[in-house]
Amino acid sequence: MRVLMTGGGTGGHINPALSIAAIIKAHCPEAEFLFVGAKGRMEERLVPAAGYTLRTVQVSGFQRKISLKNIGRNLKAAVHAVTASSACGKIIKEFQPDIAIGTGGYVSGPVLRKAAKMGIPVAVHESNAYPGVTVKMLAKYADLVMICDEAAAKYLPEGTRIAVTGNPVNGGFTSLDRDAARRELGLDGRPMVLSVGGSLGARRINEVMTQVLIRSHGAGGLQHIHATGRQGYQTVADALTAAGVPLKGEGIWVRDYIDDMPRCMAAADLVISRCGAMTLSELPVAGKAAILIPSPYVAENHQYHNAMALVEKGAAICIEEKDLTEASLWQALEQVLSHPETRRKMEACAKAAAITDADRRVWEAIAPLLKK
């Protein structure tokens, strides 16, 4: 069996594609995979590192804001769209896939459109609660669209064949024990707040969390693990050091990156986070109350829609970045941590929203297309 996978540009598209490939491989060890990604993007590093063959095509997105610079960019994108379609057709003819599966990003468009026109079964997976432009466009070509949350269904074209599968999540988010995780991290009995802004960092979250950490250090009632992102570490470290706040010790641990997220989340009593698709799947699986701060810099404001999917279920509080201050964040922290019944209710709502069998659902959705 030959499986063509596509999706790229960001980890939010690449990691679900790698997870789906792993699910298929677990059921069909003999399956052969080929990934198609965008030239010069993150998939050039992540896909080969995972052990898969990658072919790349030149693609770029269309700019919706009208300006002289964007007119030039759109002309370039139009040329890429034509050349990418031809390149994708050549790749598909050479590989002869039995199915083509995409997870979003500009590169998914030409790959899956060409596959559908060549009579190959096509499946799409959308990891966000608000489908991206590429996924909405591809829905009319696809035999199946898998979505992470039923809230996404209303944004897809009428007649789309939909399966609510959730996002495949690292098993550590369900298997790790809170007390054991806290012991391993050297935490004591005080509530612990985990705060993250993404792998590169989020400047405004770092600015506000610096003030929160200074205030919390003075009060002494909480513990914190804060991930600055690789680009924000030194700025946060300098500000905290100047204020006499330790970077590791006295209940505070500032890190540039968290590579043991299942353990840190298991130990947390409250999570402060951006609203990427995978984080919004991990929080319910881990059963954690959250304060969500959507990035205003992403396409179609999709992080806000991701956040609201949990807020509407009673599992989270949302603070938009324009409203984010030390006072507003501290007030939200107290709202949850000073009222144990509130936190327990949010945790219960998070668990109720969790899809813990996403691997099984993805396989059961894809299997009929493989038979076809």
The parent domain of residue 134 ranges over 2-169+357-371
Q: Looking at the structure, tell me whether residues 88 and 56 fall in a common domain.
A: yes
Per-residue model confidence as pLDDT tens digits over 179-207 = 999 999 999 999 999 999 876 668 999 99
Using CA atoms, how far apart are residues 147 and 173, in angstroms rounded to an integer?
A: 20
Residue 225 has pLDDT above 60, yes or no: yes
Ordered DSSP codes for 2-17: EEEEE--SSHHHHHHH
The pTM score is 0.84
How many other β-carbons are positioned within 10 Å of the β-carbon of residue 299? 13
Amino acid making up residue 313:
K
Q: What percent of the chain is modeled with pLDDT above 70?
A: 93
- What pLDDT does 66 receive? 59
Q: Which two tokens stand for residue 253?
A: 């641990």
Q: Looking at the structure, tell me whether residues 294 and 311 fall in a common domain.
A: yes
Q: Looking at the structure, tell me whether residues 104 and 215 fall in a common domain.
A: no
Q: Looking at the structure, tell me whether residues 271 and 180 fall in a common domain.
A: yes
Q: Looking at the structure, tell me whether residues 116 and 233 fall in a common domain.
A: no
Q: Looking at the structure, tell me whether residues 29 and 101 fall in a common domain.
A: yes
What integer is the mean pLDDT of 271-276? Answer: 94
Residue 138 has pLDDT above 80, yes or no: yes
Q: Looking at the structure, tell me whether residues 287 and 189 fall in a common domain.
A: yes
Q: Looking at the structure, tell me whether residues 180 and 302 fall in a common domain.
A: yes
**Residue whose token pair is 């003999």:** 30
Q: Looking at the structure, tell me whether residues 346 and 361 fall in a common domain.
A: no
Per-residue model confidence as pLDDT tens digits over 36-71 = 999 888 899 999 999 999 999 987 554 556 565 655
- Please give the mean pLDDT across all residues of the chain: 91
Q: Looking at the structure, tell me whether residues 196 and 150 fall in a common domain.
A: no
- What pLDDT does 5 receive? 98
Amino acid making up residue 170:
N
Q: Which two tokens stand for residue 358?
A: 């996403």
State the total domains in the chain. 2
Q: Looking at the structure, tell me whether residues 196 and 225 fall in a common domain.
A: yes
- 11: domain CATH number is 3.40.50.2000
Q: Looking at the structure, tell me whether residues 211 and 287 fall in a common domain.
A: yes
